[in-house]
Amino acid sequence: MKVKIVNHSPYPAPAYATPLSAGMDVRAHLPEPVVLEPLGRALIPTGLFMAIPEGYECQVRPRSGLAVNHGITVLNSPGTIDADYRGEVRVLLVNLSDEPFTITPGERIAQLVVAAHARVEWEECDSLDQTLRGAGGFGSTGLK
């Protein structure tokens, strides 16, 4: 699938790090480093603008290395870039660690995954069919 992209940053367009990667790494388009204080958040620009095909979305996901090594994650994960959005792609990062973290220009800050999605039409009814799980929610299937 081809996705149109305009790159206003001096850094490479999003790219897969390995042949079997699901997500493409996206980089920070910053004029200078940004320090994320503990529990601080920042909307980081990427310099990218894209046109996602109808029926698809682009999900913005955390990078596992930033999360495990530094406590940096995408706050609204996964974020969604809709097919009709034409503004700059920005990534909402949060520092969940107890140490400040510096985001440097060109640093890989998130992953982008383009995925198909379905649109639904609600059909209101008075009851739902029964299942084995029923109304069991969070934790209802146990740990082991």
Structural domains of the chain sorted by starting position, each given as residue range(s) with its CATH number in brackets: 4-116 (2.70.40.10)
Phi first, then psi: what are they for 93, rounded to 5°? Answer: -100, 150
Angle at the Cα of 113 from the Cα atoms of 119 and 35, rounded to 5 degrees: 120
Residue 130 pLDDT more than 90?
yes
- What are the residues whose beta carbons fall under 8 Å from the beta carbon of 90, sequence distance 6 or more? 43, 44, 45, 46
Cis status, amide bond into 78, omega within 30 of 0 = yes
Which residue shows structure tokens 């529990």?
39
The answer to whether residue 139 scores a pLDDT higher than 90 is no
Q: How far apart are CA 93 and CA 75, in angstroms?
A: 6
- Judged against a pLDDT cut of 90, whether residue 102 lies above it is answered with yes
What percent of the chain has pLDDT above 90?
Answer: 89
Average confidence (pLDDT) over 58-80: 96
Whole-number pLDDT of residue 144: 82
SS3 content of the chain, % helix, strand, coil (to 5): 5, 35, 60
